[in-house]
Every structure is written in structure tokens, then in C-alpha cells.
Structure 1
Amino acid sequence: MVSFVKILLTGATGFVGGRLASHFARSDAISLVCAVRRAGTSVCGEEFVIGELNATTEWTEALIGQDVVIHAAARVHIMQDETEDPLGEYRKINVRGTLNLARQAARAGVRRFIFISSIKVNGEHSPRGFPFTADAAPAPEDAYGISKLEAEEALSAVATETGMEVVIIRPPLVYGPGVKGNFATLIELLEKGVPLPLGAIHNKRSLVALDNLVDLIVTCIDHPKAGNQVFLAGDGEDVSTTELLRGIGNAIGRPARLIPVPAAVLMFGAGLLGKKAVAQRVLGSLQVDISKTRRMLGWEPPLSLEEGLRRCFDSERSC
């Protein structure tokens, strides 16, 4: 950060946005406004209450004088979405809500719009040894991934039309203090000492520590080469599910009790139980290549996977 920057942050009460807000609160080089649904729900000193995020949200007042918008708010991925039209629901917030904000930001003179997208734009699984790259053809498979891709495309059009720079960041699974979902479930099982049939999984998965993702977002605020680019985020270390569980066990000081059951057997059993999608996330590979991020931004993940896992369980920042 080379100069004073005024930032509007959305999603400031979320997993990623909350850590960003805390980071910015410690900086004298940042003037931060957090867009929130309800007042008093973030760590920001200055909040702007927007209510619902959609195609009609009025942003004019919040955008006055802002240099950068970091858009971390979204309708997040839901494993078993039971709404009648999941894609339509994602589009309301992730596409039309994002486009509405971007258009108003451009009119207000915002110079850079940073969009937190998802690796799901690339796809759900990568063949082992063939990681996703930032410039590969997108291939989203679910409604959430499709909505994120449509948002990216809409933002690129706004950038072309208005000259406002757009930066797109696609993270894989983000872990850190307060993590939820399948990752949190695995942590809970390991803490309880439950034996898991995951001792012979030879997949490869990329993850990104929350603090590594925050560091990348901060880098993109004013890096001269970041404008109108897509970057993949990651720790730069790929691990199997078995290795990850052992790493979590080391971080919590409790050895993982892993039973070596072949992945094919587990996948077959999951299919019988109607849990194939869950099994694919645990047993399949999803690797990302962050070489473009490194090359163009000169960025390196500050934390190793081991340190990122350890930070999950710091006494002052437990998951």
C-alpha cells in the first residue's frame, strides 16, 4: 500500500470480509466503509446500511469519494439447495446485485472493483497433475459456479464500457478461524477422536488460508498490473485428503485416527447412500495453478499450509 486509499467493502460480516475489515482497521493508510444489512454488525468504524443486496440496492451515498470497491458479499454455495429455482436465486444477488453495484461504482468514479469469485467457475474437479489455470476456459457445473461466471462476464463488460478496472480473484476452499461446512465437520470429528476411513486417499487438493487470501486481496488494491485480470488464489501446496487430516491433527495436537479404505470403495458406498457429491469433494482432486498470480503480482503466500492450519487453533482465534 503506497498511498491513502478509500475502500467500500461488502460482505464485511462474512468469513472473508470480516477478516479483511479487521485487517483494514489496523491500517492508517485505509479509509474503510463497510456495507452491512444491519447497523452494528461489523468491526468497521463506519458502516453503510444497505438492507438486501439485489438489482435495486441504492449505493450512491456509500460510493461517494471511494477509490476501490471490494465485493465479498454473495449468496454463498449451498450443498443441498432445496429452493425451486437455485440458479435464479443465485442470480438475484451474485449476478444482478453485483452488476448493479459495479455500474453505480463506475458512475461514482471508483477506479478499481475487486470481485471475490470462486474456483467453481473453473469447475468442480481437475485431473490430478493438471491444475486449473486462471486463463483456462471456464466450466462451472452447479448453479453457484454459473452465477459467479455470469457475474465475472458482466463485470468485464462494465470495465470495457466505463474504464473502471476490474480484478477477479477465484479462491478454492478457504480455511481459517471460523471456517464452516465440510472442513469444520472434519475438524470436529478429529477433535472427538472419531476414526475416519480416509487413510488411503491419494488425491490432490489446493486450499488457501484465510490470511493468505486477505494478503492477496490487499495486494490487488493498488498493484499496477492487477487491473482487468483474473487471479487464482492458493497456498502453493497441494495435499491429499489424508495428508490434510494428518495436518489438522498435528495442529490440534491430536493424531488423526485414519483407516486405510480404498477411495473406490468409499465412492461406491457414498453412491448407495446418496452422498456422491459430498464424497467427490473429499475424494476427488481440485488443484489450482497460481503461477500467473506469482508472476504478475510478485506475490507469494505469506503462510505455509502448516502455519495456516495452526492459526485455526490459536487460543485467541479458535475455529
Structure 2
Amino acid sequence: MNKQVVQNFGHETSLLRRKNVLVTGASGFIGSELIRQLETSGYRVTQASRNTRPGRLPVLQLPSFDDPLTAFEDLLEDVDHVVHLAAIHHASASVSAEEYHAANCMLTARLAQAADKMISGKLVFTSSIRAQCGGVFDGVICENDPPHPTDDYGRAKLAAEAEIAAAMPRRNYTILRPVLVYGPAATGNLAKLARLAALPVPLPLKSLPGRRSLLDRAALCAAIIHCLQEPKTDGEVFIVADQRSLTLGEMISAMRRGMGHRPMLFSLPDHVLDLVAQITAQNDRKQRLYRDLVASSSKLQSTGWVAVEDPIRQIESLQRGK
């Protein structure tokens, strides 16, 4: 190996070492998979969390939104890229508007202000589809549709997006709006759905028409890494979703097949479902099951990211892997 080749190899290795990604919320559902993919892609990872716990990698304390900006600048010392996952996740009546705004907007704003001064690479922020719309939407939602969040969670996420754009005039950021994310050890509504699917009883879900866009966790993490590397994503907002939407019946059927069971779904007449919804005071939930939340990720796909084509196969595979 000649001297020039050795020098070039050393230079490339040095560049690789400098690709240090700070991941906030790295211990969470998305963060654990993202760390695995980042390391596989050759990045170094630095973790930061609001609640530090011992782990495989050292975890730094994420400053509070009311800490001085210098605390965030110190956190970003020797960092090239930032992926901001930390947040109060999901809409909940037990969380106040002020709490959402502090954790999901103001903390993000401080991190973006520091990133503008400190990093040479990108900041990727995981917002939410709820920054753009409520729990249902007529038609197929895309980034050109005016955002109309319907709850404090969504409003805080949308406000955080605006803070990032204002703080980072070099446009070295990307904002992602993922739909509902599924994967191993998913929490929230998907965990409840898996428990329902595991019950050895027929379920009256076959005729429910509402369709939902879902997002594979590994595909979301691949989208984050894609945005760190692809200049076409600079300063842009992208919806992230699998290509195909599913009904609730299709989700349950896929889970049950993955568990090795038959789907065992049947239909009930609408007037019976209406009566059940009235008796159980679930009219709002019934309306959500009858209406759609279908989102298009074609804008992100046009930059080179590859979306999951068939989530049914992914869901079946997840259940078989348990």
C-alpha cells in the first residue's frame, strides 16, 4: 500500500470518526432501533435523556428548557448531527397544555438554537402527524395541506417545528411527521390492539371501514439516517408512512396470523354497532373507526427513502418473532 493510499485511508477514517450523532430520547421505543442502525452505518452515538439511566452507552443529562443556552452548547461539544426524539409522546388528557409546550416545544427550541451555533451537520426532529391534523382526515393528507392540529400535543409539536425553522437559518434541519409507529415492544394503542388480537374469541371488526396509515419502526429510523445524509431534505418537512393503509380488521387479522391463529372476524350491522356505541358511551371512538387517517409519504420517497410497501407482512413477521 503506497503512502498516498495510506494517507487517504487515514483521512477517510478520521472523517468517519467525526460523525458523532447526539440522540435525545435514545432509550425509548424508536431510539433503541435508531442507535442500532446508526452504529451499523458507521456513526458514533452520544445519548442524552431527561431521565438518565445506566445503559450500554454513557447517557448525558438533557438540560431543561429553562436552563441557559450554554448548557445546550456544552451538550453539543464535538457533535456533528442531532436527532431529537425526546418528548412527551402521544395525546393525553392527563398532560396540560403548558407541560406539552415546555417539553415538546421550548426544549426543542433551545436545542435548535444551540445546534445552529455548534453543529456542522444536520438536526433531524421527529414531530408527529398530529402536528398536521387530528385523529381523522378526509382524503389523503400530504405536506401541502395546511396544518390544523386538534389537541395540545399536536399544537406543541407544530410550534416546535416553527421554532426550529426560526433558529436555524442555514436550513440544516429536517422535520419528520411520522404516523403511528409499530415494531417490537410497541406501547400505547398498538400494545392494546395486540392484547385484543391475542384473545381467543371472534371479534366484530370485519366491516369497520376506517383506514389508518402505519409506519414500520425500522423504516422510520432509516428515514432519519437518510435525512442526515441527503441534502435534498434540508429545511423540509416530510410525512413518514408505509405505502399501504390498513383497516382495524386487517391489523387484527395480520396480528392473529402472525400468532398462528385464524383471524376470526365477523361483521355486525351498522345499527347494532350504533346501539353498542351509545350504550358504552363510545360514539366518538366509533366515528374514528369509521373514518380514515391516510397519509402520503411520496415527498420523502422522491428524495430516495424507501417506504415499506406491505405493512401486513411486517406485522405478521413481528408477531411470529415474539
Deviates more, 1:139-148 or 1:179-188: 179-188
Could you tell me which residue of structure 1 aligns to residue 6 of structure 2? none
1:301 pairs with 2:307: yes
Note the residue ranges of structure 2 that are not aligned, 5 or more in a row: 1-12
Structure 2 residue matching 1:225: 3-state secondary structure = helix
Structure 1 residue matching 2:312: 3-state secondary structure = helix
Structure 2 residue matching 1:8: 3-state secondary structure = strand
Tell me the distance in 2 between the aligned counterparts of 1:135 and 1:47: 38
Note the residue ranges of structure 1 that are not aligned, 5 or more in a row: none
Deviates more, 1:131-140 or 1:53-62: 53-62
Deviates more, 1:255-264 or 1:140-149: 255-264
Is the Cα contact below 8 Å between 1:171 and 1:232 reproduced in 2? yes
Q: How does 1:86-105 map to 2 (within 5 A)?
A: 86-105=96-115
Shift, 1:135, TM fit:
2.2
Tell me the distance in 2 between the aligned counterparts of 1:277 and 1:19: 34
Shift, 1:281, TM fit:
4.2
TM-score, normalised by the number of residues in structure 1: 0.87
Structure 2 residue matching 1:211: 3-state secondary structure = helix
Is the Cα contact below 8 Å between 2:24 and 2:47 reproduced in 1? yes
Tell me the distance in 2 between the aligned counterparts of 1:126 and 1:94: 24
Pick the aligned partner of 1:8 from 12, 22, 28. Answer: 22
Is the Cα contact below 8 Å between 1:205 and 1:240 reproduced in 2? yes
Tell me the distance in 1 between the aligned counterparts of 2:270 and 2:90: 25
Q: Structure 1 54/255 Cα, relative in aligned 2: closer, same or farther at 3 Å?
A: farther
Could you tell me which residue of structure 2 aligns to residue 185 of structure 1? 192
Q: How does 1:20-35 map to 2 (within 5 A)?
A: 20-27=34-41, 29-35=42-48
Shift, 1:192, TM fit:
2.1
Shift, 1:10, TM fit:
0.5
Could you tell me which residue of structure 1 aligns to residue 61 of structure 2? 49
Q: How many residues align?
A: 304
Q: Structure 1 277/106 Cα, relative in aligned 2: closer, same or farther at 3 Å?
A: farther
Shift, 1:12, TM fit:
0.5
Shift, 1:115, TM fit:
0.5
Pick the aligned partner of 1:136 from 139, 145, 153. Answer: 145
Could you tell me which residue of structure 1 aligns to residue 3 of structure 2? none
Shift, 1:195, TM fit:
2.7
TM-score, normalised by the number of residues in structure 2: 0.86
Could you tell me which residue of structure 2 aligns to residue 67 of structure 1? 80
Shift, 1:164, TM fit:
4.7
Which amino acid in structure 2 is aligned with residue 26 of structure 1? T
Shift, 1:257, TM fit:
2.3
State, as a whole percentage, how many aligned pairs show the same letter: 27
Q: Structure 1 280/113 Cα, relative in aligned 2: closer, same or farther at 3 Å?
A: farther
> Could you list the per-position Cα deviations for residues 222-262 of structure 1 after superposition, in whole angstroms to 9, with x for gaps in the alignment?
10101001111111011221222212222221122223124
Could you tell me which residue of structure 2 aligns to residue 207 of structure 1? 214
Could you say which structure has the larger radius of gyration? 2
Which structure has more helix as a fraction of its residues? 2
Could you tell me which residue of structure 1 aligns to residue 265 of structure 2? 258
